[in-house]
Amino acid sequence: MKIAVNTRLLLKGRLDGIGWFTHELMSRIVRNHPEHEFHFIFDRPYANEFLFAPNVKAHVLPPQARHPILFRIWYDWMIPWKLRMLKPDVFVSPDMMISTRTDVPQIVVLHDLNFEHYPQDLPRVISNYLRHMTPRFAAKAAKIVTVSEFSKQDIITQYGATESKVNVLYNGVQSVYRPLNEVEQQDARARWAQGSKYFVFVSSIHPRKNLKRLLEAFELFRLQTTEQIKLVAVGRMFWKNDELTELLSQMNYKDDVVFTGHLEAEELNKALGGALALMYVSYFEGFGVPIVEAFQCGVPVVTSNVTSMPEVAGGAALLVDPFSVESIAQGMAQIHGDESLRSRMIDAGYQRSSAFNWDESAESFWKIIEDAAKQ
């Protein structure tokens, strides 16, 4: 069998959610199936480390697709041209988009539909494109993959997809994430919080990640405690946010908020592992990978009681209302003030993390690929 794969988000040193999803699944699948031929399609020069096995051949297909106009050129002109040359049995696209102009069976991964529910949180040109094209992608695809039961039902409701067409494939968690010993925790606090205890926020920073309300909650929490707790925010700023900048400038405890920027997995493990708790209070998620990473690090999780997050947490996290600053602040106070609660949550998180395994997800994804190739 010949499988073509959209790998344009395999970017050295810049793997975010979809990039890691692609990396973890495809690295396993190509190694587990050496009898098949894989064609990885990039939109820019690639790192050889992403050619995971001898049965992988790389193709660079311009232009670099980072804007709706370029999306249309890449997916609806360049991809069909390349697929006519390769004649694959199936085209796999993990990044939410496929071609509307090819008859090759396609698998599209729709991680979530945040743009349908909160279009104002994205630049207008992006949200308009996604809202216009994603229903077409869902109709065109031979198979749809998503990452939670919540997202599956959302796709069925929004686009009228059948139950059998939409497959749930949980994200896994990398083995690099592990608990820190006491010395390592002290080192983490010294590095990112001047020796203080800290809460950690992990995510690319854009509106639905709810950092604004988290900062307001942190301010409220700090007004109610005498200990100098800090908030460490890990993630890349997606675009300029004047509202966030203004809020920070007005905070009484702005000096206790630390922005690290993007951290690679080993450094992120340290930042997570040294924290009092992960504060993951988005108001919309299709999955929420940092929840599972924190579980595996032995760190309690405070997360939202909406969308996919209760499903992923599975009873092992403290749930709060992401639209209530008071609820988020109360969650911080509970974690800070109750060591027995933290211990119970750590144990529950360890147990819950075992439900998320990349090897099992790769096996399930391979079966989906085989089914799609038969259509």
The architecture that CATH gives domain 2-172+357-373 is 3-Layer(aba) Sandwich (3.40)
Locate 114 and state its tokens.
Answer: 């945040």
Give me the residues of the chain with pLDDT under 50, please: none
pLDDT at 13: 85
Closest by CA to 366, choosing from 24, 30, 6, is 30
Closest by CA to 283, choosing from 234, 325, 245, 236, is 325
pLDDT at 141: 98
Sheet holding 37-42, edge to edge: 56-60, 37-42, 2-6, 90-93, 106-109, 143-146, 166-168
pLDDT at 238: 66
The CATH fold assigned to 182-353 is: Rossmann fold (3.40.50)
Q: How far apart are CA 332 and CA 322, in angstroms?
A: 13
The pairing of beta strand 230-234 with beta strand 198-202? parallel
Q: Are 244 and 211 in contact (CB under 8 A)?
A: yes
pLDDT in tens, 261-289: 989 899 999 999 999 999 999 999 999 99
pLDDT at 315: 96
CATH 3.40.50.2000 boundaries in the chain: 2-172+357-373, 182-353
Enumerate residues 6+ apart whose C-beta is below 8 A from 35.
Answer: 55
Helix axes of 358-373 and 17-32: crossing angle, nearest 10 degrees = 70
